[in-house]
Amino acid sequence: MECHQPRDTTIDPVKFALSVHGTQDCATCHTEGFDKFPHTSTRANMPDCIDCHSGPATPPIDFDKIAAGVKASVHVKMVDPAFRCTNCHSPHSFIPASRMTDASEAILAANKPCLGCHAAGKTPAAQQIAFRNLAEKHKVFPHWELHIQRNACIACHTPRGQEDVHLILPKSQALRDCAACHGKNSLLATKLYTHLALKERSERGWANAILFNNAYLTGATRNRWLDWAALGLAVLTVLGVAAHGLGRILFAGFRRSL
Amino acid sequence: MKDTSGYPLWLRCWHWSNAVLFVTLLITGVSLHFSKPARSLGFRGDTLLHNTAGILLTLFYCLFLYGNFRLGNGRYYKIVTGDIEPGLIRQARYYLWGIFVGQPHPYPHSHERKFNPLQKLFYLVVMYVLFPILVVTGWVLLFPDQLPGEVLGVPGIGLWALAHTYTGFFLSLFMVVHIYLGTTGTTLGALFHFMLFGEAEPVAASPVRTPALGDRPNMQTTVPKEHS
């Protein structure tokens, strides 16, 4: 880092220090071709994440499963067979979602790599236009701008019913069922907070509380105690009305005798 | 003939349009709240129907307000002397006991009085407090991007949605009781008929004893006692 700070334009030392690899020595990954300047190493010579993060030694994240997901994704199949983790995740600034406490932070972080290619532009203004064009392809949603701004791309563009967020699907297979998110066991909970959602689901049977604390989502943000109280009140009302009507029927004979 | 019954055509049209829209909103609202994948209409269809019905309900609410403030219907909602004390107690006593034993209705329908005191109080709360809350919160939720992201530590949309959902819920409970009390006319269907077709001749302090559920339609009537 002697050369790379403080004027560095490629690696931000602060971001790197805060990242998941902040405690690692540069040479842990940058092994060959970095002893001289200019560096002779190419990207292909660099180790990939899976070279370290593999096998049973890296719970709770199953990197082998992630690698399998990437391999089956549209990125490998249709873009680049040599697609690597670092195409999306910068090893110099990556912070896993499990370290984020806020949904919007997790969404921004999750979308950033997607927008880096799919809303690319040389200037911020060009990026803005590219983002607008991308967003307009999502007009199928009501409040589509909100959906794009406050939702993770991977929520709809990865297989439903799986926590895997790396198996990016072709756009023809993107999720279009609103209730998949707007419902009990909203997939957003599992896509954005996989680690917490799994725990919550095993403890409570469904996994929406984590969403409830961070965002409102029609159909998904439900408090079961309020729902039960409302049901109880509705039943009491119907029973009260029925009992009153029954009373009127039972007293009919008495009234006729007047 | 001029309709002097207190149920002119515009009011009846408003009432039934309101009823159809409210039931539509209730069904789609419940469907949205408990949404599940692959429902018959689906989340998108429910949303479209709910939003459309909500906008129409607002227009009909404007008609209701116009009718009340400009066409004279509002006079039936004014609290008058005796409505609270002894009106509420007397009417509650009638519903809890008098209606069973054939006592006369303490506040029979007349030109001056369309609603009994309890009914008036409920209608006031429903139409001038709960209904506006439902309409305003519904409109706010049509523009979620304009809402603050967070209010008092909870999602901004959440507060409006909570108010909207449970105001709608309480209004739905009101509707259940409202429909049931519609059976407490001179016959089970009399008030429904009345609300559908209006009233040809005004009924002034009807001497007919208010019968109740289970009475024979052609029963003998009795003259009510005077209330002190």
Question: Using one digit for the tens of pLDDT, what is the confidence trace for B100-130?
Answer: 998 988 888 777 788 899 999 999 999 999 9
d(CA A48, CA A33): 16
Q: Which of B134, B22, B104, B13 is nearest to B64 (CA)?
A: B13
Count of beta carbons in the 10 Å neighbourhood of residue B137: 19
The full set of domain ranges for chain B reads: 1-77
Query: Quick check: A245 and B213 CB within 8 A?
Result: yes
* Tokens read off for B211: 């019968």
Query: Quick check: A184 and B39 CB within 8 A?
Result: no
pLDDT of the residue at A248: 94
Q: Which of B38, B33, B13, B26 is nearest to B162 (CA)?
A: B33
Over residues A52-95, the pLDDT tens digits come to 877 665 556 778 888 888 899 999 988 888 888 888 888 888 88
Q: What is the pTM of this model?
A: 0.75
A146 to chain B, any CB pair closer than 8 A? The answer is yes
Is B169 in contact with B156 (CB distance < 8 Å)? no
Candidates A142, A182, A252; nearest CB to B214: A252
* Tokens read off for A104: 């919007």
Task: Compute the CA torsion angle B26, B29, B31, B33 (nearest 10 deg).
Answer: -130
* Residue predicted with more confidence, B80 or A228: A228
ipTM score: 0.80
Which residues have CB under 8 Å from B45's CB, separation 6+? none
pLDDT of residue B39 exceeding 60, the answer is: no
Query: Quick check: B145 and A146 CB within 8 A?
Result: yes
What are the chain B neighbours of A218 within 8 Å (beta carbons)?
32-33, 35, 161
pLDDT of the residue at B154: 64
pLDDT of the residue at B205: 45
Is B120 in contact with B91 (CB distance < 8 Å)? no
pLDDT category at B221 given cuts 50, 70, 90 is very low
Comparing B28-42, B179-193, B210-224, which segment has the lowest mean pLDDT?
B210-224
DSSP run (H or E) holding A200: helix A194-204
d(CA B141, CA B161): 7
A138 to chain B, any CB pair closer than 8 A? The answer is no
Q: Which of B119, B128, B132 is nearest to B178 (CA)?
A: B119
Which residues have CB under 8 Å from A160's CB, separation 6+? A175, A177, A180, A187
Greatest Cα pair distance in chain B: 65
Residue type, A34: F
Taking any CB pair shorter than 8 Å as contact, residues of chain B touching chain A are: 32-39, 42-44, 47-48, 95, 99-102, 144-145, 149, 155-158, 161, 166, 169, 172-173, 176-177, 180, 183, 211-216, 219, 222
